[in-house]
Structure 1
Amino acid sequence: MSFRDDNAAYEAWLATQCDVVTRDIKAKHKLMKDSAFMFLRATYFRWARRIGTVCPELMDAPQVLSIGDLHLENFGTWRDADGRLVWGVNDFDEAAVMPYAFDLVRIATSIRLAPDRSISNDKVAEILIAGYREGLRVAQPALLDEGETWLRPYAIGTALDSGEFWDKLGKTKKYPLIDGKADGRPPRDVVQILNASLPKGSANIFYRRRIAGGGSLGRPRYVAIADWRGGRVLREAKALVPSAWTYVHGVQPSGLLKLARGPHRAPDPFLDIEGKWIIRRLAPDCRKIELDKDAATRLKGDLLQAMAFDLASIHAAGSAGGDVLRRDLKRRPNDWLYEAAKVAADSVMKDYEAWRRDGPRK
């Protein structure tokens, strides 16, 4: 199936799962032309369909509940139940059971396609495998005020200053009005869910749409912004949609909360599912970390190793167990990840170039 046809089919399926925001889909189509990295982020459905064919030698890897849509910008910060600042994978929308190796290949592929990086592809593969092995050995979360304090500069920099975060709430590009109205409201069930997620005593609540993400563009997102005890608080409701992996390979239960609350995590207590909505807290200390103009200097080996460590800590909680994954890694050729990411990136580039040339199916 050509990429255009596959994209059209996926978007038709998506429309059966939620009330698709058409203008966000059009924005996504434009975003997909910006770079191969953004194209990868926005097209997990295609990865799910193609990766088994592109990397058939990995299909026999032990299966675990995996992240699926793992990439460089799938990491962020949050506060756990004890108020500790935590860093790690923070988006599990596409979680599904699959060969564990595909998560490693996807993050290695995203690094290959990332702009302005300064680490060679063979070194990237070596670093990721080293970090993953270590994470299987001593699985644990990354606490930024305790064991992993060195990560703080990556997680909280000038681009994440609280003033800038709150200033964006007044701008309509990321937080547009609902139906063009200052007093617009989400659907009634979403209003009830958002209001229930706010602290008791919240006042002056108002609502906005939110435009964010890559692959999730097109799903409805709403935020509630309220005053509470001298400041503002923010909650988001995003439509829950089955993983694109299950769209391609068959339905299975959502693994979102199981991964997010795994035994080797310090989970975000505000992340939850209510009906068909994913609820979470947004704040300067609870948000996704995106690449910026300084990406080349930020993508250092220790950060990549920490990403792989966190991935392994998530996988280690799976039914296969860390020992099984370690044995599988040991039996594979030394260059397996480098080679798999190379062919996967080539496949993504072909689709990306076709999209830039032909665009969406009319």
Structure 2
Amino acid sequence: MKNSLFNQNDRDIYQLIQAFDNQRDRDILPRKYAKMRKNAFAFFRGTCHLFYRDLPVDSILNLAPVTWICGDLHLENFGAYKGDDRQIYFGINDFDEGVLAPCAWDIARLLTSIFLAVDSLLFTQSDAHTLAQIYLNSYTKALNAGRIREIVEDNARGMVADLLEDLHRRKRSAFLDERTELVDEHRQLKFDGEKIMEISKDRDRQVRQAISNWAKTQVNPDFFDVLDVGFRVAGTGSLGLDRYLILVAGKGSPDRNYLLDFKQQSISSLQPYLTIVQPEWENQATRVMRVQSLVRSAPPALLAAIEFNGGSYLLRELQPTQDKIELKPGKISLAELAQLIDTMGEVTAFAHLHGSGKSGAAIAQALIDFGGNVDWQQEVIIYANNYASQVQIDYQYFCQATQDL
């Protein structure tokens, strides 16, 4: 395989990042860059576009069967969510970059994240190789079986089982209390200036009107009566995009209100590097919504694509059951992480299989055959390990370039 590592003199990492973020909110970008300076893994999460820019055109990874992929698969893009059938699932939870592409692209990005994350989790590179092999073994085993199953409380293991059990017991009122406060028996958002920020009266009015117009097309428009709106600061790679937290009436005040996430969707960062023809989406929010429906048995609750402010936005429920397993040093053992990554391998395979044969994706048999082929597996581990080293170099240059921000 062609080596993907670049001479640092051939490119200016900070300039590439700035060019990618050119249309983002300039007031929010310093927060994004501060998050990216935390460690190389955080930097990796905020630079999906660099990963695909660097992927060699003659890579064996490009020969893998084409299916619907997450595009930004890494260890922290898995979590629990409530489906539109109200069942709680564990799966991939971010499809902002989702496209039709070789399935190995997801695998390579996930494995790279393992090699980067072990440092911050205080494990060794030897551990990383073991974990990478566990993920690959789990992924290929699930592909070879050719059967799709969702991860739910009844079949989950280890930390995933604990997470789903804990979330099942959580109360909506407690979730609302974290982000809202009661004023005269009615809730309003807690504006902390960090995660939830106040917006102008004009923008408040515009958001309310957009939701109201869309709600008129729904079976129960009163459910979406807007009680309060704030600017939401969340994520890493998506920081700088327009995003709102919306409190709606739901099933009644004060403890049966709902919180909605209303997020601007931009073109996938994979798009410039795709040779596979993509469907002609109505807009980017429709793309993200559709990819989720292609790879999941039950898409997240209250998912909708809405035109707003000259762009397309994805509306979804911000759920008390939407949570991740914390990957913090000292909070997870190597054995626990191994079991978690084993589950992630299964989840990835199920998603790829679920999308097979749909809207241009390869049929399931092609994925099954791919899972049984060992030729590419060592190649992808070598690539991920080498690219993690490149990310470490890029991260150091980025920190130097932004140290005065």
Alignment TM-score, normalising by the size of structure 2: 0.77
Question: Structure 2 counterpart of 1:221, which letter?
Answer: R
Q: How does 1:333-352 map to 2 (within 5 A)?
A: 335-352=378-395
| Cα deviation digits, residues 17-62 of structure 1 (max 9, x gap) | xxx3222112111111111111111111111211236x82322222
Distance 2:113 2:35 in 1: 16
The letter of the residue matching 2:321 is D
Contact kept? 1:221, 1:238, Cα under 8 Å: yes
- Report the CA distance between 1:191 and its aligned residue: 4.0
In 2, are the aligned partners of 1:8 and 1:360 still within 8 Å (CA)?
Answer: no
Structure 2 residue 260 is matched with structure 1 residue 235 = yes
Contact 1:222 1:236 in 2 (8 A): yes
- Paired residues in the alignment total 352
Identity %: 23
Give the distance between the partners of 1:29 and 1:343, measured in 2 at CA.
Answer: 24
- Kept in 2, the 8 Å contact 1:238–1:278? The answer is yes
204 and 63 in structure 1: CA distance in 2 versus 1, 3 angstrom threshold? closer
2:74 is matched with 71
Quote the Cα distance in structure 1 between the aligned partners of 2:152 and 2:38. 34
Q: Is the 8 A contact 2:261 2:315 kept in 1?
A: yes
Partner residue of 2:20? 10
Instruction: Indicate yes or no: 2:107 matched with 1:104.
Output: yes
> In the alignment, what sits opposite 2:148?
139
CA shift for structure 1 position 5: 2.0
The range that moved more, 254-263 or 108-117, is 254-263
Residues 262-287 of structure 1, C-alpha deviations (whole Å, 9 max, x = no match): 36522223222223111100121134
Preserved contact between residue 85 and residue 298 of structure 2 (Cα < 8 Å): no
**Which position in structure 1 is the counterpart of 2:212?**
192
> Which letter does structure 1 place at the counterpart of 2:362?
A
Q: Which residue of 2 aligns with 1:314?
A: 351
Is the CA contact 1:265–1:314 (under 8 Å) kept in the aligned structure 2?
no
1:277 aligns with 2:313: yes
Alignment correspondent of 2:121: 116
Q: How does 1:286-325 map to 2 (within 5 A)?
A: 286-292=322-328, 294-297=330-333, 299-316=336-353, 317-318=355-356, 319-325=361-367
State the structure with more CA Rg.
Answer: 2
Structure 2 CA distance, aligned partners of 1:203 and 1:60? 49
Larger RCO (alpha carbons 8 Å, 6+ apart)? 1
- Offset from partner CA, 1:85-143 (integer Å, 9 cap, x none): 11101110101222211211111111222221547122112211122123322222112
Who is 1:21 aligned against? 25
Counterpart of 1:59 in structure 2 is 62
Q: Deviations over 1:338-357 (max 9, x none)?
A: 21210120121111111011
* Match of residue 44 from structure 1: 48
Report the CA distance shift for 1:57/1:361 in structure 2 as closer, same or farther (over 3 A): farther
The equivalent position to 1:86 in structure 2, one of 66, 89, 105, is 89
- The two structures have a TM-score, normalised by structure 1, of 0.85
- Deviation track 1:190-229 (CA, whole Å, cap 9, x = no partner) reads 4436766886356671101100011100001012113442
Letter in 2 for 1:358: A
Say if 1:157 and 1:64 are closer, same or farther in 2 by CA, change over 3 A. same
Aligned mates of 2:198, 2:241 — CA distance in 1: 16
Query: Which runs of 5 or more structure 2 residues have no equivalent in the other structure?
Result: 1-10, 181-189
Q: CA RMSD in A?
A: 3.1
The 5-angstrom pairing of residues 143-292 of structure 1 reads 143-144=152-153, 146-148=154-156, 150=158, 151-155=160-164, 163=174, 166-169=177-180, 170-172=190-192, 173-179=194-200, 184-187=204-207, 190-192=210-212, 200-201=222-223, 205-227=227-249, 228-230=251-253, 231=255, 232-249=257-274, 252=278, 253=281, 255-262=287-294, 265-275=297-307, 276-292=312-328
Maintained 8 Å contact 1:143/1:149: no
Contact 2:244 2:261 in 1 (8 A): yes
Deviation (angstroms), 1:149: 6.3
